[in-house]
Chain A
């Protein structure tokens, strides 16, 4: 791992690979029911134009070299069977929270809590989009559009074009409980797209949890706009059904003194790509993004890709990227993470670590860490490691009588600890940790 008080410039030229044929995109679009949009109409039209310009990604695209986009490009996902009973009980169910249910990407008001709560205004995109004007108009599709430079993100544009529903949350105060989005799946071939917009006003604070089972294929997005001093804690944890194709996007704009903390847990999944794009535009702001991934190829093919891009545009801001992947039986992990420090963004403190723990020789981890720095008074470090279970630590635990498989569970949890530390709330962290442990225990002997 390199610790550099840097002036390094690692500029990667953009290779624009041959776009996948335009008719493939048309077929993809034809397979969807595209909304016309009310207040989002202009943003959707703009996104469609951008999408046609960039086309669907091909394996030769610089940022799709490690992840084959074929299944995301396909007009429809293969149907998958929904198990009768999940192995894990739903997360956070004993928590005092505002529970909002989405079924195949559409809000289910009857199953959800009332939207009215102090300090927060919640509406649903499907209804709100019937009118021509809305506070979310300036945000919907605009953070996404801004995040398309310098790297094309066609599925993000597709999301803006195609999302029918999602939440529009305006946080004006400090709501007393977290908002918890729970996804449910109704049909076996659901190809689901949703788009949340969050605007946290000055000094407002929100904890947002997103869990549950998404469709056979999903493309989710959060656009989060944090005003001065606002704080957003996000924890995403999708349920463990193995066969799923999952794209997710977080686009955040962070103003002065605002704080974004995002943690995503991924267990199982055939093909997943999580993109997190954070634009720090003010001074003294903070952005921490983290993820923990567990993949076992014995459950089926497993490929998980975290693609992160953090831009520092203000003074004295801090960013951290902490990504950990535990891979076994041929599971594949990818990390592409970048810190861009713009000219004048002095006293930036940027940190990035991506690590994989390979539990056998068949699994693999590919990492592409990047720093691009145009200010001279900054501290940025990045490191990436791939390793196996530490034999000395394993022996230490076993010499105390801890059986080997159990000792490995301890060491995996130990490996993931830094990423989990990024979850501020101790109770939430404990629940995520229990979930990890349950998965590890189930996968001990396979």
Chain B
């Protein structure tokens, strides 16, 4: 589904190389985890894949279902089925959660040539999904992420993911700032979305999220590259030994 090959990325504004030949492939239906120390370029990878300004791809490619991602506008990537759950979800005062999400859902449907959802259909769908994620209906009426706790913001990201039904979900440190209960809710939400034609790239600094979302493959990232890939046991090794030995071993 997602194929990244030899990706080199530098900052647009300064001469700083952040991704230095990163390759990765996530087949349909699989969950891959990306772990790595702070500053290794995990968030940059997620931004470059979803089309944020400020980065320049100097080499390599990234495709989703064979389509060149790097050529598309962010909204086109979303319509193509890519979703990024932000490490720091953005607060947008004055814009209702519901209005925003309905606009997003219908914009994607329109782009895909699917009939738009009526208010009633949308309301029904969002109520059902919100209750699964234990998101209060009142929260849906509030402005996007304004006054939400850290946990609520992350659950709101998962709610958006559930409503948008992407094929490829990238989650950037969705576990950061969550207590155990909140993390379980988020993990349950993600697990409920797992399906043979949906894939996940779960970026995390810690192993604990992976106790709840079982990955098929774990990649260790350091200094802009994947330095080691393996099964779930790799995450446990990081948990026990830290990154030091792993990175030394990878050279």
Name A's B-contacting residues (CB within 8 A).
391-393, 395-404, 406, 410-411, 413-418, 420
Q: Which of B75, B95, B105 contacts A398 (CB 8 A)?
A: B75
Least distance between A422 CB and chain B CB atoms (Å): 13
Residue numbers in A under 8 Å from B107 (CB-CB): 401-403, 406
The CA-CA distance from A3 to B108 in the complex, in Å, is 43
How far does the Cβ of A437 sit from chain B's closest Cβ, in whole Å?
10
Question: Given the complex, which residues of A lie within 8 Å of B51, measured CB to CB?
Answer: 395, 398-399
Given A400-B164, A404-B73, A404-B75, residue A416 in contact with residue B94 (CB < 8 A) = yes
Chain B residues within 8 Å of A403, by CB: 75, 107
Contact A401 B164 (CB under 8 A): yes
Chain B residues near A397 (CB-CB < 8 A): 92, 100, 104
Please give me the residue from chain A that is nearest to B77 by CB atom: A399
CB-defined interface of B81-93 with A at 8 Å, one 1/0 digit per residue?
0011010011011
CB distance from A30 to the nearest CB of B (A): 49
Given the contacts A401-B107, A401-B108, A393 and B73 also touching, CB distance less than 8 Å? no
Chain A residues with CB below 8 A from B105, complex form: 401
Q: Is the CB of A391 within 8 A of B93?
A: no
Q: Are A398 and B92 in contact (CB-based, < 8 A)?
A: no
Partner of A392, one of B73, B90, B104, B160: B90
Note all chain B residues with C-beta closer than 8 A to A410. 92, 95, 100, 103
Question: How many angstroms between the C-alpha atoms of A416 and B94 in the bound complex?
Answer: 8
How many residues from B make CB contacts under 8 Å with A?
31
Contacts of B164 in A (CB 8 A): 400-401
CB pairs A–B below 8 angstroms (11 shown): A392-B90, A395-B74, A399-B51, A399-B74, A400-B160, A401-B79, A401-B108, A402-B100, A403-B75, A410-B95, A413-B94
Shortest distance between the CB of B13 and any CB in chain A (Å): 12
**Interface residue B141 (Cβ < 8 Å from any Cβ of A):** no
> Which one of B74, B77, B92, B104 contacts A393 once the chains associate, using CB atoms below 8 Å?
B92
In angstroms, Cα B92 to Cα A393, docked, is 7
CA of A213 to CA of B243, assembled, Å: 69
Please list the residues of chain B having a beta carbon within 8 angstroms of any beta carbon in chain A: 50-54, 73-75, 77-79, 83-84, 86, 89-90, 92-95, 100-101, 103-105, 107-108, 111, 143, 160, 164
> What is the distance, in angstroms, from B134's C-beta to the closest C-beta of chain A?
22
Interface hub of B74, B95, B101 (most chain A Cβ within 10 A)? B74
A420-B50 Cα distance, complex, nearest whole Å: 33
CA distance A415 to B93 in the complex (A): 8
- Say whether B75 contacts A417, CB under 8 Å: no
Contact in complex: A398, B74 (CB < 8 Å):
yes
Residues in chain A near residue B93, CB distance under 8 A: 414, 417-418
Bound form: Cα–Cα A70–B95 in Å = 40
Add 9 more A-B contacts to A399-B84, A402-B104, A414-B143 (CB < 8 A): A396-B89, A399-B75, A399-B78, A399-B86, A401-B75, A402-B107, A406-B107, A414-B94, A417-B93
The reply to whether B50 and A399 contact each other, CB–CB distance below 8 Å, is yes
Q: Which of B90, B92, B95, B104 contacts A401 (CB 8 A)?
A: B104
Q: What separation, in Å, do the CA atoms of A402 and B92 have in the docked complex?
A: 14
State whether A400 and B89 are in contact (beta carbons under 8 Å apart), knowing that A406-B103, A410-B95, A417-B94 are contacts in the complex.
Answer: no
User: A398 CB to closest chain B CB, in angstroms?
Assistant: 4
Give chain B nearest CB distance to A195 CB in angstroms: 35
Say how far B114's CB is from chain A's closest CB, in angstroms. Answer: 12
Q: Which residues of A contact B94 (CB under 8 A)?
A: 413-418, 420
Distance, CA A124 to CA B54, complexed state (A): 61
Give the distance to chain B from A200, nearest Cβ to Cβ, in Å: 31
CA–CA, A13 and B77, complex, Å: 58
- What's the Cα separation between A418 and B92 when bound, in Å? 12
Q: Check B78–A398 contact: CB distance below 8 A.
A: yes
Return A357 CB to nearest CB of chain B, in Å. 12
- A residues within 8 A CB of B95? 410-411, 413-414, 417
CA distance A403 to B100 in the complex (A): 12
- Chain B residues, CB < 8 A from A398: 51, 73-75, 78
Could you tell me the distance between the alpha carbons of A396 and B90 in the complex, rounded to whole angstroms? 7
Whole-angstrom CA separation of A36 from B104 in the bound complex: 62
Q: What's the minimum C-beta distance from A144 to chain B, rounded to whole angstroms? A: 35
Say how far A404's CB is from chain B's closest CB, in angstroms: 7
The distance in angstroms between the C-alpha atoms of A406 and B99, with both chains bound, is 12
